[in-house]
């Protein structure tokens, strides 16, 4: 009973901390993306890359900027890994093989941070800091930039201009992510996380023998890993490792970092469209799903089934005793409802139904509150669909924020919500049907299927967490998850930016007595229902073969 109470109190403290910063931080981000002036360091960057930050872009131009910048990032990170053996600070590690270099480069550029390698045994200091850490910043900034472009699509009228991608990218990095990451890293170092560039140390073990440990700029990477909803761990144990996450306080602090930007962006949205109530409606939708899923996860993991669970007081397998079931449940839901993928426990060891909750959290589209930027634009797409459903029920042309939702807008929204499930289900089916890939599965039956389904759910939704029972370091999985990450990141962005351009070109529709009030609780309920029903209908057959079958059998 004490552990249950501790988990509930931590959850309430987390809600309080998020509520405290919601208004000032959301307002600050709105000012960042609405400001006319450029900082001196920003002007130097624009001059260096040859960009004019004051030139407005249409959606195709904005998209070209996103794709070009990301392609350069993939190429640079791939080459950095392939050249690691001759770089200083490599800690004696050899160059990364081509398939894994491709997978890792794509993973970090797409904000997925899926890792099919042991971080402390594969990547040296240069690759970790100049490669992976840099992408943790800029990939998150790209996601926020695309979300801001969609918000401008709602806020503007009679124009096809959505802002300037390069200005949005640089401002998001320098004015939001870098300052927050610096402060967060200092707090983590003060609480025991390591920050150095030391080499490999031989450490004696209590029962005899020794083990090798290397240091690294862990706290700084941990800070942006959570803030940018990235998830790539410096060590293979990720946020369960005491060098990354030393205490229960740092564990709660890291959950706060995961959630703070995605939740606060709803305030930014409300301010930029001129109605903070609209932001509160989106916030309420996200919060309702997040709170509900966290409660379900706690109930599942605290349930006592059998003598082993009763002796431990809960389902303790795969969880750190430093954190316990409550904190691990909060972390698991936060990291899978966002596009983070960091873990402080092993999701494969959760109960069957608990593992299913982590999967469903990602399959919702990671919109509650979702990744940095991707959560907001994903939820706004769902809001467009919910408005369309309401319009069908009353026989009225649907409108959202003064914009008509016509055939073009619905086609783009439908493509957005269909692309990720198609990637997940097709790649999972191919991996189960072909004779070689299933040999990577360490388990058979429903749990083995869950491992594969989880892997492609994580990759296509740009999450990055794993079920920890699948050997994904093979040519097949490195290539297929890499493709899933690329398509799952950039195809949805195409539809988001096209929708933004379509909305920005419309003239505003006046509010009438028949207009659906999208800032009211009724719309929030409709939106929650649309999210759960659309996702449930899409993934239920696959979930029934994996986590549901396992959970009901236990």
347 pLDDT tier (thresholds 50, 70, 90) = confident
Q: Looking at residue 310, what is its pLDDT?
A: 56
In this prediction the pTM is 0.94
Maximum pairwise Cα distance, the chain: 78
If residue 369 lies in a helix (H) or strand (E), which one and from where to where?
none
**pLDDT of 320 above 80:** no
Handedness of CA 523, 527, 528, 530 (dihedral sign): positive
C-alpha dihedral, 169 to 172 to 178 to 184, nearest 10°: -140
Sequence-ordered alpha helix ranges (H) in 303-406: 306-312, 324-337, 352-363, 374-394
Q: Which residue, 413, 412, 329, 336, is CA-closest to 368?
A: 336
- Burial label for 41, CB within 10 Å (0-12, 13-18, 19+), is exposed
Token digits for 68? 């070009």
Q: DSSP string of 90-125?
A: -TT--PPPHHHHHHHHHHHHTT-----S-HHHH--H
Find the domain containing 26 and state its range. Answer: 3-553
List phi, psi (to 5°) of 163.
105, -165
Contact 84, 127 (CB under 8 A): yes
The radius of gyration computed from the CA coordinates of the chain, to the nearest angstrom, equals 23
436 pLDDT tier (thresholds 50, 70, 90) = low
- Number of structural domains (the chain) is 1
How many helices, marked H, and strands, marked E, lie in the chain? 21, 4
List phi, psi (to 5°) of 200.
-85, 135
Question: Among the listed ranges 45-49, 445-449, 503-507, which one has the minimum average pLDDT value?
Answer: 445-449
In angstroms, rounded to a whole number, what is the distance separating the alpha carbons of residues 299 and 102? 40
Q: Which residue, 242, 233, 240, is CA-closest to 194?
A: 242
* 86: DSSP letter: G
Burial of 55-83, coded b for 16+ CB within 10 Å and e otherwise, reads eebbbebbbebbeebbeebbebbbebbbe
306 pLDDT tier (thresholds 50, 70, 90) = low
Q: Looking at residue 302, what is its pLDDT?
A: 83
- Beta strand 399-400 with 403-404: parallel, antiparallel or unpaired? antiparallel
In angstroms, rounded to a whole number, what is the distance separating the alpha carbons of residues 369 and 261? 9
For 34-76, the pLDDT digits (tens) are 999 999 999 999 999 999 999 999 999 999 999 999 999 999 9
Q: What is the mean pLDDT of residues 431-449?
A: 72
């Amino acid at each position: 009973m004490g552990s249950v109470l501790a988990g509930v109190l931590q959850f309430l403290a987390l809600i309080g901390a998020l509520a405290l910063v919601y208004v000032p931080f959301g307002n600050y981000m709105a000012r960042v993306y609405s400001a006319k002036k450029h900082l001196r360091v920003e002007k130097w960057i624009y001059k260096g890359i040859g960009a004019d930050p004051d030139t407005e872009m249409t959606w195709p131009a904005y998209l070209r900027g996103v794709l070009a910048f990301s392609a350069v990032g993939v190429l640079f990170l791939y080459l950095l890994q392939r050249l690691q053996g001759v770089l200083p600070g490599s800690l004696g590690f050899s160059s990364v093989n081509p398939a894994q270099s491709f997978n890792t480069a794509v993973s970090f550029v797409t904000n997925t941070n899926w890792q099919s390698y042991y971080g402390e045994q594969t990547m040296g200091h240069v690759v970790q800091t100049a490669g992976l850490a840099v992408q943790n910043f800029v990939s998150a900034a790209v996601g926020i930039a695309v979300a801001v472009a969609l918000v401008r699509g709602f806020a503007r009228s009679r124009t096809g201009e959505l802002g300037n991608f390069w200005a949005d990218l640089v401002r998001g990095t320098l004015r939001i992510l870098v300052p927050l990451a610096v402060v967060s890293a200092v707090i983590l170092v003060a609480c025991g996380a390591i920050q150095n560039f030391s080499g490999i140390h031989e450490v004696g073990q209590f029962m005899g023998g020794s083990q090798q440990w290397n240091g690294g700029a862990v706290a700084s990477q941990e800070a942006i890993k959570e803030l940018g909803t990235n998830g790539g761990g410096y060590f293979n144990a990720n946020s369960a490792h005491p060098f990354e996450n030393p205490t229960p306080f740092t564990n709660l602090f890291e959950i706060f970092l995961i959630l703070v930007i995605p939740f606060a962006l709803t305030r930014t949205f409300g301010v930029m469209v001129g109605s903070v109530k609209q932001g509160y409606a989106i916030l309420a939708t996200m919060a309702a799903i997040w709170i509900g899923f966290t409660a379900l996860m706690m109930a599942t993991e605290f349930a006592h089934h059998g003598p082993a669970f009763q002796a431990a007081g809960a389902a303790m397998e795969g969880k750190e005793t430093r954190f316990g079931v409550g904190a691990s449940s909060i972390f698991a839901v936060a990291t899978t409802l966002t596009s983070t993928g960091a873990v402080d426990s092993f999701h494969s060891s959760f109960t069957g139904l608990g593992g299913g909750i982590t999967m469903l959290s990602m399959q919702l589209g990671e919109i509650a509150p979702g990744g940095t930027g991707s959560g907001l634009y994903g939820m706004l797409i769902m809001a467009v669909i919910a408005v369309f459903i309401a319009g069908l029920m009353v026989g009225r042309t649907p409108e959202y924020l003064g914009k008509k939702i016509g055939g073009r807008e619905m086609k783009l929204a439908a493509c957005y919500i269909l692309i990720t499930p198609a990637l997940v289900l097709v790649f999972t089916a191919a991996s189960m049907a072909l004779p070689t890939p299933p040999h990577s599965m360490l388990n058979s039956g429903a749990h083995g299927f869950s491992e594969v389904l989880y892997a492609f759910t994580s990759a296509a939704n740009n999450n990055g967490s794993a079920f920890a029972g699948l050997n994904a370091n093979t040519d097949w999985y490195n290539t297929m998850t890499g493709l899933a990450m690329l398509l799952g990141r950039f195809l949805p962005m195409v539809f988001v930016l096209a929708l933004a351009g379509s909305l920005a070109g419309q003239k505003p529709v006046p509010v009438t007595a028949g207009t659906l009030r999208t800032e009211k609780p009724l719309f929030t309920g409709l939106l929650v229902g649309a999210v759960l029903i659309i996702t449930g209908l899409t993934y239920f057959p696959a979930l029934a073969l994996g986590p549901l079958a396992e959970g009901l059998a236990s």
